[in-house]
Amino acid sequence: MQTAQFNSRYILGISFISALGGYLFGFDFAVISGALPFLQHRFALDAYWEGFATGSLAIGAIIGCIIAAVVSDKYGRKRGLMIAAAIFMASSFAMALSDSRMFFITARCAAGIGVGMASMLSPMYISEVSPAHLRGRMVAINQLTIVIGILLTNLVNYYLRNEGENAWRWMFGLGAIPSGLFLLGTLRLPESPRWLIQHGQQQKAVAVLTRIGGTVFATDSLKTITGSLQGTGKLDYRALLQKGVLPAVLVGIGLAVFQQLCGINVVFNYAPRIFESIGASQDDQLLQTVFIGAINLVFTLLAMLLVDRIGRKPLMLFGALGLAVIYACIVRMLAGGSPQVSWLLLASIGIYAMTLAPVTWVLIAEIFPNRVRGAATSVAVISLWLAYFILVFTFPILFNWLKDTTFYIYSVICLVGFFFVWFKVKETKGKTLEEMDAFIGGH
């Protein structure tokens, strides 16, 4: 009996190209941290406008998720990724050339459209071209490129810190370079075989599947995908309310919201402000963002090794409980003005990077039935970005009011998240996307 012969190099190559959208996600996510001290001076940002300028990325991302759901369902995952790349490039130039607060916020909102499209389409595409035994690691590549984007952006920000009052323009404008590379890369991607089958292009789908895993894999995959897509039509959000689908949708929304409201992104976006509160200089503040980016990268690599070995649920539980404990300790350190708080902040980044950050994206890419994957993924990712906006918009205001005790709020949220994962999330390690249809629904 013949067995599948997987083309690992090809699978890795197309997954990496798709995941370049994650790199630009990381860029736009991190660049604001280094630029905020300059923007506060240039555009006179108070706590409200600081939060809104940071969170405007999420407003655009919500719009981007809606666009991505429609485009990817009607025209394909590949075209959606191409549009996201073009938006990334245009918005990088627009932010760099901004001459007013509202123009900058509008441009950053436009960048968010690209981020939102990539945050939905990159993991979706990777999950649809990866065999079950490789899917967790391949989807985690998307998170890896996000953290590489964060680290490199933090390094560039630190390098540009003494380049004068217009250093922030270079910080944003340099994003056009990886955007162009991403756009060129998407031209070489094959279309998702699941999308091709759904739209009656079986011959093209078989060609892609054959290149991924050989003739046996292509034949078996065509049969299982076709069966799982029976009754599938155009994008239909009403289908998410069906009895067999709604439980998975609610779990996906819960995971997405928890990943953001757990609070770790205030460390990424507002590290300079946090370290300023204990008397660190601006140079030290930006240097700490580099350390944060490095820890984020190291522990994301560790997550890629663990996600298909240990499983999704154990990592999520460890992350939720670990952050709850560390946040409580951070409150004590900040209250005493101890510089040692930097070690706890780095530890929180490490735990998040190894658990909640990559595993949430893996689960969102896995748990939805094929027939509603586009609509369900868009709802989950929209929920994620809405939660991100709430988090980063409220943090400057809360930190001005509550100071260090703000982290108690995030500690409690992490405890709630721990019990949500314990009771509501099922292990999906090693299952095909088609097997998940029945498994998640509890049949």
Residue 58 identity (one-letter amino acid) = A
Q: What is the full DSSP assignment across 286-307?
A: HHHHHHHHHHHHHHHHHHHHHT
DSSP 150-219: HHHHHHHHHHTTTS-TTHHHHHHHTTHHHHHHHHHHHTTPPPPHHHHHHTT-HHHHHHHHHHHHHHHHHH
Q: What fold, for 9-189+236-441?
A: Growth Hormone; Chain: A; (1.20.1250)
Q: What is the pLDDT of residue 392?
A: 92
Q: What is the mean pLDDT of each run of 10 residues along the chain (443 residues)?
A: 69 88 88 87 89 92 89 90 94 95 95 90 86 76 85 90 86 92 92 89 90 86 77 68 87 95 90 77 80 90 83 93 96 84 91 91 80 81 91 92 91 97 82 57 44
Smallest Cα–Cα separation from 20: which of 175, 155, 157, 134? 175
| Full-model pTM | 0.79
392 in Cβ contact with 262 (< 8 Å): no
The predicted-structure confidence for 370-414, as pLDDT tens digits, reads as follows: 777 778 888 888 899 899 999 999 999 999 898 889 999 999 999
Task: Take residue 239 and report the two structure tokens written for it.
Answer: 């289908």
Q: CA of 397: how far to CAs of 108, 335, 387, 412, in Å?
A: 21, 18, 16, 19
Distance from C-alpha of 317 to C-alpha of 425, rounded to nearest angstrom: 10
Tokens of 236: 């239909």
Q: How far is CA 83 from CA 89, 361, 415, in A?
A: 10, 21, 39
For the stretch 255-264, pLDDT in tens is: 999 999 999 9
Q: What is the pLDDT of residue 92?
A: 95
Q: Which contiguous run of DSSP H or E holds residue 278?
A: none
pLDDT value at position 432?
A: 63
pLDDT for 1 equals 39
DSSP character at residue 354: H
Is residue 285 within a helix (H) or strand (E), and if so which, with residue range? helix 282-306
- CA triplet 268, 118, 11: central angle to 5 degrees? 110
279-285 long-range contacts (CB < 8 A, ≥24 apart) are 279/337, 280/339, 282/37, 282/161, 283/161, 285/37
pLDDT of residue 84: 94
Domain residue spans of the chain: 9-189+236-441
What pLDDT is attached to residue 350? 94
Cα separation, 293 vs 310, in Å, equals 25
C-alpha dist (Å) from residue 402 to 31, 330, 334: 26, 14, 12
CA distance linking residue 121 with residue 123, whole number of Å: 6
